[in-house]
Chains A and B, each alone.
Chain A
């Protein structure tokens, strides 16, 4: 086989894998978008023949989802605030630490990333019961701090790699108090990483199912848990409308993140970046 044909075949395979990737990521979202406007009251074949806003109206009128959304927002905000505060300080401390067991401590703090969420949720449920905590909100926040902390710490730690410790030391040698050097030198330099970490943490908490399923009670449940319960109970298309709202919110979040931090800054440009 000549080199030209082999190159053409390779190029075709390469481009079809990329097309497949995009199609696989985009088509389901488009299908949900179309279905959310379906006017039929039953699950009919695709595509729908008549369109309406009935599923959006139903979502807007449904208190069950509203309560879930409110809980999700409260839990995600509180958990992210706690995790960002503790996680940022820990990332800075660990980036400078030289003590023995530093790597082990870091691995332990990041370990919730590797342990299945179901295990964390179940463990937290049993732990909270032993402590006598039966309040859904308290349990949820405990569980969500546990899962958001590693995301915040890891993202912030990655952004600290590029910041030289000498800036902080220069501030100290010029007579700044350590806390002042931290607040005025290190934190502003790390703000992209902290912002990205907090965003990751918030999204992780807001999307979580595995931990929340164990920690909700009859009155306090998160939005994903509410959706899951509805999904298993009946197959109406309110969830398609909800999916579209989620997609729109995610797009807005990405645009905001790009404006505030720059997506390239989060992904990084690498050593040989153009």
Chain B
């Protein structure tokens, strides 16, 4: 039963990977599409990425992604907690329907709606001023990107955390409170601590989604905030530097896959050692 998947997926997974690897080693000749087939293979395209002006894009990607996924956890956990512990069945159904709906709603539509709402003519344009940020400054663009990314990851985080919270015994919280612990202490020292592996896993998944995003920086970053994805797309669409784009792609792929599985492994091994 595995063979249909293998026959279909093996070429689709390996073909692009090998094609990119090969392309990234070709010398780039300005003015032609695709690397020079006649030239000797080179690592020059990778050396170019290590230049400080490129490293900046990587740092922006990782920093903005971290802020966005962190905020998504802060908002997503109470929502998941509310749905699992407090909501009546109809409210629970409505909220879960809303979360799945937001998850399914086209990303472009959501980013468009955000830019119309928080943009210069939108009803919530004052939000950035509330935080002391001028909306037309680079910080303003970063705020919009953070809002856009949060909107993408919030439903995902909340739905994942619902799964986590459902497997934590509510009696533990009741026990803490009946022994006299205040609500906040119960919440942080019992509920959050018990959910910590799930919270971290949800955060890592959200982070992986944030740093691969293309649409949000493209539509609301206004050129101030560009992710590595945008850089790769520009290599393809604007300058037709295929070898350079391929080298960036391979670098980004290695970093995202390494970060995702590395961090997830770290979380799992830490909690296994603790005897869970």
Contacts and interface: CB of A to CB of B under 8 A. Distances in A.
A272 B168 contact: yes
Interface in B143-171: 147, 150-151, 154-155, 158-159, 162-163, 165-170
A254 B5 contact: no
Interface stretch (B41-49, B50-58, B128-136, B241-249): B241-249
Of the four ranges (under 10, 10 to 19, 20 to 34, 35 or more), the interface on chain A belongs to 35 or more
A27 interface: yes
A41 interface: no
Given A18-B79, A31-B117, A272-B170, A246 B105 contact: yes
A120 B232 CA distance: 11
B101 A86 contact: no
A126 B100 CA distance: 34
B260 interface: yes
B108 A28 contact: no
A85 B76 CA distance: 34
19 contacts: A7-B182, A14-B78, A20-B75, A24-B150, A32-B112, A109-B13, A114-B256, A116-B214, A116-B229, A122-B232, A122-B245, A126-B16, A142-B12, A203-B104, A206-B106, A209-B107, A224-B106, A251-B101, A272-B169
Given A126-B242, A127-B15, 4 more contacts: A119-B232, A209-B107, A267-B96, A270-B84
Interface of A: 3, 6-7, 9-11, 14, 17-18, 20-22, 24-25, 27-29, 31-32, 35, 43-47, 82, 85-87, 89-90, 92-94, 97, 107-109, 111-120, 122-127, 129-131, 142, 145-146, 149, 153, 182, 203, 206-207, 209-210, 213-214, 224, 227-228, 231, 239-240, 242-243, 246-247, 250-251, 253-255, 257-258, 263-264, 266-273
